[in-house]
């Protein structure tokens, strides 16, 4: 089984030795990496997400019923059911995006168009690969930024190409836009809450890492 995460802090939650890919906020790169590797037996999309449903608060867990981008791809029903039972998460659709959905207006538009509870940048690439091949996939995400919160432009500079923190890039962005500092602090706190919500479900033997394979 393969786990796909967005950045290194999510990868740090995984049990030692878990095969994984770090997408580094680059869905096109992720798609290339997935296409080039041997076919996995199953793929889990794990990490934080942006809230689209205004009712969701930071740390709320969502298990995908289906992933929606240019079309909808159903997640594996048995695996998703096990995740729901283990986590108490909301069972809802997840939207896949190729860029950060940064403003409340953009989040509201995506929610209206898809009905998805949350959005991430990895799950659609996974679904596009898995569905035609019959590879089971599941999505477990924790909400970080809520539907009514904007992501500051400096946040886009926070990762390097490997998904690791890039503090000097953020500092340079803040020198150009110091007004982004409160938003960055808020985003860091929201991300910490989301990661903390995932921790209990990322231990060895947890339901997330036990796909029901034939």
Give 86-135 pLDDT, tens digit per residue.
Answer: 999 999 999 999 988 999 999 999 999 999 999 999 999 999 999 999 99
The yes-or-no verdict on residue 180 having pLDDT over 60 is: yes
Q: Which of 123, 136, 139 is nearest to 61 (CA)?
A: 139
Predicted local distance difference test score (pLDDT) of residue 6: 92
Beta bridge partners of 159: 165
pTM of the model: 0.91
Tell me which fold the domain 2-149+188-209 belongs to: Rossmann fold (3.40.50)
Asked if the model's pLDDT at residue 165 lies above 70, the reply is: no
Residue located via tokens 């996939």 = 137
Give the model's confidence band at 54: pLDDT under 50 very low, under 70 low, under 90 confident, else very high. very high
Where do the structural domains in the chain lie, given as residue ranges? Answer: 2-149+188-209
194 has a pLDDT exceeding 90 = yes
User: Do the strands 137-143 and 43-51 form a parallel or antiparallel pair, or are they unpaired?
Assistant: parallel
Q: What is the pLDDT of residues 139-148, one digit of tens each?
A: 999 999 999 9
Contacts with 60 (C-beta within 8 Å, 6 or more apart), sequence order: 51, 89, 90, 142, 143, 197
């Amino acid at each position: 089984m393969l786990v796909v995460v967005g950045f290194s802090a999510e990868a740090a939650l995984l049990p030692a030795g878990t095969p994984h890919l770090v997408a580094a906020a680059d869905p096109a790169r992720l798609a290339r990496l997935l296409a080039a590797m041997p076919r996995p037996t199953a793929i889990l999309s794990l990490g934080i997400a942006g809230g689209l449903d205004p009712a969701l608060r930071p740390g709320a867990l969502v298990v995908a019923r289906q992933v929606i981008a240019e079309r909808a791809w159903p997640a594996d029903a048995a695996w998703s059911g096990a995740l729901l039972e283990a986590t108490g998460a909301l069972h809802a659709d997840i939207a896949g995006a190729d860029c950060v959905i940064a403003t409340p207006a953009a989040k509201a538009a995506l929610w209206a168009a898809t009905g998805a509870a949350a959005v991430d940048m990895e799950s659609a690439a996974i679904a596009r690969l898995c569905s035609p091949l019959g590879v089971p996939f599941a999505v477990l995400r924790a909400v970080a930024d809520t539907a009514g919160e904007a992501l500051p432009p400096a946040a886009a500079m926070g990762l390097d190409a490997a998904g690791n923190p890039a503090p000097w890039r953020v500092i340079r962005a803040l020198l150009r836009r110091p007004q982004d500092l409160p938003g960055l602090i808020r985003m860091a706190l929201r991300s910490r809450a989301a990661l903390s919500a995932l921790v209990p479900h990322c231990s060895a033997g947890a339901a997330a890492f036990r796909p029901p394979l034939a």
